[in-house]
Structure 1
Amino acid sequence: MERRNFLRTAVIGSSAAAFGGTLWRGAASAAPAQPATGPYGALQAANSDGILLPAGFTSRVVARSGQTVSGSSYAWHSAPDGGATFTDGTGWIYVSNSEVASGSGGGASAIRFDSAGTVTGSYRVLSGTNNNCAGGRTPWNTWLSCEEVTRGAVYETDPWGVNAAVQRPAMGRFKHEAAAADPDHGYVYLTEDETDGRFYRFRPATWGDLSSGTLQVLVAGTATSGPVTWTTVPDPDGTPTQTRYQVSGAKVFNGGEGCFYAAGICWFTSKGDNRVWAYDAAASSISLVYDDSLVTSGTAPLTGVDNVTRSVSGDLYVAEDGGNLEICLITPQSTVSPFLRVSGQSASEITGPAFSPDGTRLYFSSQRGTSGSSSGGITYEVKGPFRG
């Protein structure tokens, strides 16, 4: 795998951990987020893309499943899911998974943008894999694409499409959802999309090389906050006993979904109980950032929690699989509010939120679009006055 910009991204990761960590640790240890007016105000009427946004924000379609991406000869994949961005000279790349079977085009693709945000190309970076749901970027600029199937694998891919993708079996064979690299402590965190899923971490034998290492699972009681421990999974291959059943006392998470690391904390979600969690890596403790059942006033704004990302300001953006098809914003001050809503696509789900490297644009997809079919996916860009 190409290790371009490894040292530079490692330094950036360390700096990010120093920025905003204290504020979020205070919020994470407080009561779960409650509804409030968002920092950008109320949503406006739906625009021509059918998206409700705050005043001052605009959207555009950058790709549609089955249609040639502008500036390329490549037809965008079906069922776009988890995604991330990568700096590319003065521009950037957005990588997106395809959550369909291998015979239907499963894998991942990329869209390249120039410094002005114009699409200049699109291409395949991973093929022949099954139901690639979410994943995560690494500090050495690769994309970890995760298969959401029993004994699914993690594939390390090259966002530039130059190097062949490599399977990483040492990271475990289970129903993978998302991955989040922690350069400050030397781990990659992993979620599992099962109703009795677990939360894992992988320590590579050498940071930057995922070919070997140790897979561990989080162990704790039934409490939603407090200190935790980690135990090594005896057989990451998951046969004959699946990984989640190998360690007694491993904590159950109901449908592990999105996962994102920054500022010393790994945020992850569990869709089955509509929760957003925070794992404080330095304290080795967990807490609840959001729980729809603990909203004390009015209707819970965030349900069907799924993919999650973080802006440079420290705000979390959580996509909905269901609910009102919104991306909701959770601030470090423990408030939650809708940031955008997609209208007219009730048979879809929101996937793949990721900011451009400069933090001025947010990418995401409606996995099944207006048709409700995996062949109808739409990938969007939102631009506006995101707070820094």
Structure 2
Amino acid sequence: MERRDFLRVAVVGGAAAAFGGASWGTAFAASAQPGPSPYGAVLAPDANGIRLPLGFTSRVIARTGQKVPGTDYFWHPAPDGGACFADDAGWIYVSNSEVPLVGGVGAVKFDAAGRVVGAYRTLSGTNVNCAGGATPWGTWLSCEEIDYGRVFETDPWNRKSAVARPAMGRFKHEACAADADHGYVYLTEDTPDGCFYRFRPTTWGDLSSGTLEVLKAADSLTEGPVTWGRVPDPDGFPIVTRKQVPGAKRFDGGEGCYYAAGTCWFTTKGDNRVWAYNANDSTISLTYDDSLVPPGTATLTGVDNVTRTTGGDLFVAEDGGDMEIAIITRDGVVAPFLRVEGQASSEITGPAFSPDGRRLYFSSQRGSAGTVFGGITYEVSGPFRA
């Protein structure tokens, strides 16, 4: 038996026991195991080609190259990372565009009933804007996934011009997550030898200056205490940021990132893992690792963007895989929540919940066409559990 399969088998009993009846606070230290979804199995594809559990419905919000219905804004190519922001009369969904030279961010505005009432661009002229993260003060951080990429702070309402935030580091950015409890913004790096960073602004709410740090630990560490080291030159030149601090831990292709309740979850695509950084005691652990489930049972592959419900369930989008958004429940069960059919050359991006938690937005970046000009952005409505 190969070591990978041996690990899958050996962990099942212990991990399943650790999750059984456990609270989320203790459960996330073990690796989630396949099991039944609290929403039940996905059904046959609906008219939009989305397989959903009973009680859920989907609708298309926007298509690349076409006007968002009821607006004059042409939806951008390759829609990627996204987030929702509460508005006085509804909410706004922002979405990155992962293409060179144009890049940027688009937004769709909804009224209280969920009707589209506007769409517009909030950032242009940037490069390969992949993921990012929302701030507690109501801005969207859009990240460039290129060497020496930048973080741009954008206004979802388009009332203020976007501003580059070089103090947050120049590297191949993926996602970020704001931790108001401790005063940090965490950042992932999408390279096979990438790092996990945190940025502490000089003044919380102002990202123009601060200290960039990198997580330090043995590369083999999957559970235990970690430390942090200051990155001397956040501009990454002539030495790239990930190579400036001795002892920086390597992560295999950092992807999505989300903070809530003292924990920052982040994903690494090279090894199909969902990590948890406990900010209260500065430890890391694995929430999900597909090498630690029984052979042939992995329901989550190609881990990418991640978001969370107010009730504590994680929703993880797949880059490839079965084109699913999987749920990792607060009790440590991983299962498909939805599946997109007929779009095998695409990836799922930008999952984000409306402020009331009743609608989930996401995109198929390349759609059925399999190109950056085939992107489709969806909304799923239904009885999401609190």
TM-score by structure 1 length?
0.93
Query: Residue in 2 aligned with 1:98?
Result: 97
One-letter amino acid of the counterpart of residue 112, structure 1:
K
Residue 384 of structure 1 is matched in structure 2 by 382
Of 129, 134, 149 in structure 2, the residue corresponding to residue 132 of structure 1 is 129
Match of 2:306 among 308, 322, 330: 308
Q: Name the residue aligned to 2:78.
A: 79
Alpha-carbon distance, 1:225 to partner? 0.6
What is the aligned partner in structure 2 of residue 10 from structure 1? none
Which residue of the partner structure matches residue 323 of structure 1?
321
1:25 aligns with 2:22: no
- In the alignment, the residues of structure 2 paired with residue 303 and residue 152 of structure 1 have an alpha-carbon distance, to the nearest angstrom, of 27
**Separation in 1, partners of 2:193, 2:289:** 18
Match of 2:23, SS state, is: helix
Letter matched to residue 80 of structure 1: P
Query: CA shift at 1:70, angstroms?
Result: 1.2
SS in 2 for 1:272: coil
- 2:235 aligns with 237
Deviations 1:67-100 (Å, cap 9, x if unpaired)?
0001210000000000000011020000000000
The reply on whether 1:44 has 2:48 as its aligned counterpart is: no
Q: Distance in 2 between matches of 1:294 and 1:165?
A: 42
Aligned with 2:216 (options 207, 219, 222): 219
Where has structure 1 moved over 4 Å in runs of 4 or more? none
Instruction: Give the CA deviation at 1:332.
Output: 1.3
Equivalence for 2:115: 118
Counterpart-to-counterpart distance in 1, 2:88 and 2:342: 37
What's the counterpart of residue 204 of structure 1? 201
C-alpha separation between the residues in 2 aligned to 1:297 and 1:335?
Answer: 16
Superposed CA deviations along residues 310-352 of structure 1, whole A, max 9, x for unmatched, are 0111100000001000000001111100000000000000000
- Name the aligned partner's letter for residue 28 of structure 2: A
Matched, 1:58 2:54: no
Q: Is the 8 A contact 1:174 1:242 kept in 2?
A: yes
Distance 1:223 1:212 in 2: 31
Q: Distance in 2 between matches of 1:90 and 1:298?
A: 47
For structure 2, the residue ranges without an aligned partner over 5 or more in a row are 1-21
Residue matched to 2:143: 146
Deviation at 1:187, TM superposition (A): 0.1
Aligned-residue offset at 1:298: 4.1
Residue 25 (structure 1) shift: 2.4
Q: Which residue of 1 aligns with 2:10?
A: none
- The answer as to whether partners of 1:136 and 1:178 remain within 8 angstroms in 2 is yes
Residue type of the alignment partner of 2:104: G
> Equivalent residues in 2 for 1:253-268 (5 A)?
253-268=251-266
Equivalent of residue 180 in structure 2, options 156, 179, 183: 183
Q: CA deviation at 1:297?
A: 5.7
| Residue of structure 1 in register with 2:163 after alignment | 166
CA shift, 1:24, in A, is 2.5
Q: Secondary structure at the match of 2:55?
A: coil
**Which residue identity lines up with residue 134 of structure 2 in the other structure?**
R
Structure 1 unmatched ranges of 5 or more:
1-21
1:158-208 C-alpha deviation (Å, 9 max, x unpaired): 000110000000000000000100000000000000000000000000000
Q: What are the Cα deviations for residues 129-162 of structure 1, in whole angstroms up to 9, with x where unaligned? A: 0000000000000000000000000000000011
Answer whether contact 1:35 1:297 (CA < 8 A) is retained. Answer: no
Per-residue CA shift, 1:208-247, capped at 9, x if unaligned? 0000000000001121010000000011000000000001
Secondary structure of the 1:25 match is helix
> Are the equivalent residues in 2 in contact too, given 1:32–1:334 (CA < 8 A)?
yes
Distance 1:356 1:313 in 2: 14
1:273 aligns with 2:275: no
**1:332 matched to which residue of 2?**
330
TM-score w.r.t. the length of structure 2 is 0.93
- Aligned twin of 1:13: none
Does structure 2 retain, via aligned residues, the 8 Å contact 1:254–1:271? yes
d(CA) in 2 for partners of 1:251 and 1:60? 42
1:89 partnered with 2:116: no
* Aligned twin of 1:14: none
Q: How many residues align?
A: 364
SS in 2 for 1:279: strand
- The Cα offsets for residues 91-135 of structure 1, whole Å up to 9 and x where unpaired, read as 000000000012xx3100100000000001100000000000000
Q: Distance in 1 between matches of 2:261 and 2:280?
A: 11
- Give the letter aligned to residue 100 of structure 1: V
Bigger Cα displacement from structure 2, 91-100 vs 294-303: 294-303
The aligned residue for residue 19 of structure 1 is: none
Inter-partner Cα distance in structure 2 for 1:33 and 1:291? 8
SS at match of 2:210: strand
CA contact (8 A) 1:203 1:215 kept: yes
Q: Give RMSD over aligned pairs.
A: 0.8
